[in-house]
Amino acid sequence: MSFENKPWVEKYRPRVLDEIVNQKGIIRRLKQFVKDFSMPHLIFAGPAGTGKTTSALAMVRELYGRKMAVNKTYLELNASDARGIDVIRTFIKDFARARPPADIAFKVLILDEADNMTSPALQALRRTMEKYTKNCRMILICNYSNKIIPPIQSRCVVFRFASLNNDDIKLRVKYVAKQENISLTPGGLNAIVDVSRGDCRRAINYLQSCGTISKNIDQEIVLRVAGEVPPEKIKEILNTALEGQLQLSIKLLNDLIKEYGLSGQNIIKNIYKEIYDLKVREDMKIELVKLLAEFEYRLSQGGTEEIQLQALLAKIVLLQSSE
């Protein structure tokens, strides 16, 4: 249908959805909604920092162009702040039932962090979604779609966002670093990508934190800021314990804690990441993972970090010596 037959659509609108990376299948479907000037209720689910909120705002911007600035056109709420049933019955319901401006077809309500809403609030929301669909379409954004009750899921089209790949994160981090006149070594860039784990927002936050320490960022600075330890130091502790040298492994661990200021759970997570690269038998790796699970649970229940970590190393020594 031509633009002339759609007076609520501007002829020249921004094409910001094209700038979303690593979500090509989802963006293609969203652009079809924009092309058809229509959309159902939507759920955007996936890990943090993958572009869910950005995609929702980009689609609204493409739908409305400059009219996006009009308050009656769209509304964005963070459900972690406004998540009670009173908000659904008053604020959200009033926005949904109010007729949209004459020059647009429907309004859009973006409800971020919807998986933090209370169960009564979700129950109240489902009727509002159904009753006022003509006036208002909703986009629910969440990390875990299973926390959204089935009646709401059945009223929505679910889009599942994947974590960003390393190349896309590298491009964005290098772009930000260039704009901020920050020098990144190849090792520093790879370290930022590794510790971000597919979360572009986290990667940029680490870059900013490192930038407050130095304008020349290398792997050492990134690992220190992120609470990570160079893999070779963790492997040294593990191999020393597996060789039966308990006192030396404890000394290496204490030196590591003093140098990096890590918590007990951080130490266990770092050890876990290096277990599968150890040159030991598979059954030994299985036993090591079981030990880590046991001691991680002990720490989560309030165990003393120093005692539990030294007991973990003692168990690893006994594990090797019992063969």
Q: What is the pLDDT of residues 177-234, one digit of tens each?
A: 999 999 999 999 999 998 888 888 889 999 999 998 888 999 888 988 887 788 888 9
Residue 312 confidence (pLDDT): 93
Name the CA dihedral angle for 117, 123, 124, 128, rounded to a multiple of 10 degrees.
100
> Pick from 316, 238, 236, 229: which is nearest to 267 by CA?
229
CA distances from 130 to 36, 49, 123, 269 (A): 21, 30, 12, 45
CATH number among 1.20.272.10, 3.90.330.10, 1.10.287.130, 3.30.70.100, domain 231-321: 1.20.272.10
Residue 152 confidence (pLDDT) above 50: yes
Q: Which fold has domain 166-226?
A: Helicase, Ruva Protein; domain 3 (1.10.8)
Residue 248 confidence (pLDDT) above 90: yes
Residues of the chain with CATH 1.10.8.60: 166-226
CB 83 within 8 A of CB 116: yes
Q: Of all residues in the chain, what percent carry a pLDDT higher than 90?
A: 28
Residue 92 confidence (pLDDT): 84
CB atoms within 10 A of CB 124: 19
Lowest model confidence (mean pLDDT) among 59-73, 76-90, 264-278: 76-90
> 3-160 belongs to which CATH class?
alpha beta
Residue 38 confidence (pLDDT) above 80: yes
Q: How confident is the model at residue 90 (pLDDT cuts 50, 70, 90)?
A: confident
Residue 12 confidence (pLDDT): 47
